[in-house]
Structure 1
Amino acid sequence: MLFVILIGGGIGYAFGGFPGFLIGAIAGVGLVRWAKWKIQKRLRAVQSGFMESVFAVMGAVCKADGVVTDDEIRVAEGLFEKFRLNAEQRQTAKAAFNRGKSDDFDLDAALAEFMRVSGGQSGLLQMFLQVQVAAVAADGEVHPAEHEMLVRVARGLGLSEQQVEQLEALLRGGAASGGGPSREKQLEDAYKVLGVSSDVSDDELKRAYRKLMSENHPDKLAGRGMPESMREMAEEKTQEISHAYDLIKSAREQGATNA
C-alpha cells in the first residue's frame, strides 16, 4: 500500500509540486482501497458459488446409481456440520442438493459456471472434487456408476480420471488408519495419492510431495476463495498427503536395509 501511495505522490509532485504530491498520494490511497474491495468482492463470490455448486453437484453425483439413498442424504447433512453452516446456509445447501438430484439438472452447465466463478484455480477445483468423492465414498466403497460420474465431474472441471483415483486412494488411506487394506495395498494407494509410479526416484518423489503440499496448503486455498468452513477438510488432505509420503519413505528405507 505504501509503495502505491508513494508512486502516486511522486507522479503528482512531478506535475504539481507539493500540492500535486498530496493529490497523488490521496489518489493512491483510493486506488488501494478500490483494489482491496474488488478482491474481497471476488472472494465472496467464489465462496458463495463454491458452497452452492458443491451441494448441487453432490445431488447429481449421489443419484448416479439411480437413487439417492438415506445414507447419502445423511452424508450430505453431516457435511453441513463439518462445514459449520448456519441455518440460512443449510437451507441454501439443501435447496442446491435437491436441485442437483432433479431429472432436469444440467450438470455440465453447473460445472462450467463454477469454472468461471473460481477462475479455474487448480487447488479449488481439486477441493471441489474431493468433496464429491468424500460424499459417495462415505460407505467405504465407490461403485462403478459413481466413479463414472466422478470422472465426468472431473473432466467438466478440467481435471483427469487420475485425479479422481488419487482422491479415492487418499480417502482409503484415511480409512485405513483403523485397519483394513494390506500394507501392499496401502503402499499402492500412497503412490496414487502422490500421483507418481512406484519406480520414481527419491528426488522425483520429494518434488511431487512438495508440489502437492504447496497446492493444497489451507492458507493458500483460503486466499483463492475456499470457504473458511472447509479448512478442516483441507488440513485433513495435507495430513493424508504427508502420511502417504511417510509410508513410501518408510517402505523404501526398510527395503534398502533388507537389501
Structure 2
Amino acid sequence: MLFAIIVGGLIGYAFGKFLGFLVGAAIGAFLLNRIKSRLVGKLQNIQSGFIESVFAVMGALCKADGVVSEDEIQVAEAMFVRFRLNETQRATAKAAFSRGKAEGFDLDAELQHFLRISGGQPAFLQMFLQVQFSAVAADGVVHPAEREMLMRIARGLGLPESQIDQLEAMLRGAHSSQAGGQQRSTAQQTDDAYKVLGVSSSISDAELKKVYRKLMSENHPDKLAGRGLPESMREMAEERTQEITHAYDVIKEFRENSA
C-alpha cells in the first residue's frame, strides 16, 4: 500500500508540487483499497460458490442409485464437520444438497456454473471431483452407478476420465497405509503410484521429477487458498499433496531397488 501511495504522490508532485503530491497519494491509496476490496469480494464469491456447487452435486451423486440413504446423509453431514463449516455455511450446504437431490436438478448446468466461478483452474476442478469421490467412497466402495456419475462429472468439468482412476488409486493407497502397507504387493502399489501422478511407467526419472514438482506446485494448499479455495477445505488439499509425495516416493524406491 505504501508503494501505491508514494507512486501516486510522485505523479501528483510532477503536476502540482506539494499539493499535487498529497492529492496523488490520496488517489493512490483510494484506488489500491478499491482493488483490494474487489479481490476480496471475488475470493469470497469463489469460496461460497465452491461450497454451494460441491454440496449440490453431492446431493445428485448420492441419489445416483435412485435413493439417498441415511448413510449418505450422514456422510454429507460428516463433510460439514470435516470442512469446519460455520452455521451460515452449513445452512447453505444443506440447502444445496437438498437442491441437488431434488427431481429436475440440472447437473450439467451446475458444473458449467462452477467452471465459470472457478475460472476453470485445473487444481480447483480436481479438488471438486476429489470431494465428490470422497463422499461416495466413505464406505470404501464406489458402486457402478456412482462411478458412472463421477465419470459424467469429470467430463462436465473438462477433466479426463483417468482422474477417477487416479482417485481410486489414492483411495487404495490411503487404505494400504492405514493397514501398514502389508496387504498389497509392491507391483500393485507401484502401478497405483503411476496412476496417482498420471504418468506412464515408461517415463524417465527426469520427466517424473518434473511432473511431481508441477503437481506439488499446482496443488499447494497456500496457492489454492490464494485463488479462493475455502480454508475449511485446506485439510483435503494437504492430503492430496501427501498422496502425491507418497506416490513419488513409492516409484523412486521401486526404481532404486530394481536398478
Question: Which range, TM-score by smaller chain?
Answer: over 0.9
Say whether 1:99 aligns with 2:104: no
Match of 1:157 in 2: 157
Deviation at 1:234, TM superposition (A): 0.8
Distance 2:174 2:188 in 1: 13
User: What value does the CA root-mean-square deviation take over the aligned residues?
Assistant: 1.4
Match of 2:248 in 1: 245
Say whether 1:231 aligns with 2:234: yes
TM-score by length of 2: 0.94
TM-score by length of 1: 0.94
Gaps of 5+ in 1: none
Distance 1:167 1:71 in 2: 21
Distance 2:64 2:219 in 1: 28
Distance 1:5 1:158 in 2: 43
Matched to 2:133, the amino acid is: V
Match of 1:59 in 2: 59
Deviation at 1:222, TM superposition (A): 0.5
Match of 1:78 in 2: 78
Deviation at 1:60, TM superposition (A): 0.8
Say whether 1:185 aligns with 2:188: yes
Comparing 215-224 with 175-184, greater Cα deviation is found at: 175-184
Deviation at 1:181, TM superposition (A): 3.4
Match of 1:205 in 2: 208
Matching of residues 11-90 of structure 1 within 5 Å = 11-90=11-90
CA offsets, 1:236-256, max 9 Å, x none? 111111111111111111111
Match of 1:214 in 2: 217
Total equivalences in the alignment: 256
Distance 2:215 2:79 in 1: 24
Distance 1:19 1:164 in 2: 63
Matched to 1:233, the amino acid is: M
Distance 1:181 1:84 in 2: 34
Matching of residues 108-127 of structure 1 within 5 Å = 108-127=108-127
Matching of residues 171-182 of structure 1 within 5 Å = 171-179=171-179, 180-182=183-185
CA offsets, 1:152-172, max 9 Å, x none? 111222211122221221122
Distance 1:101 1:195 in 2: 32
Deviation at 1:117, TM superposition (A): 1.3
Deviation at 1:99, TM superposition (A): 1.1
Distance 2:12 2:83 in 1: 49
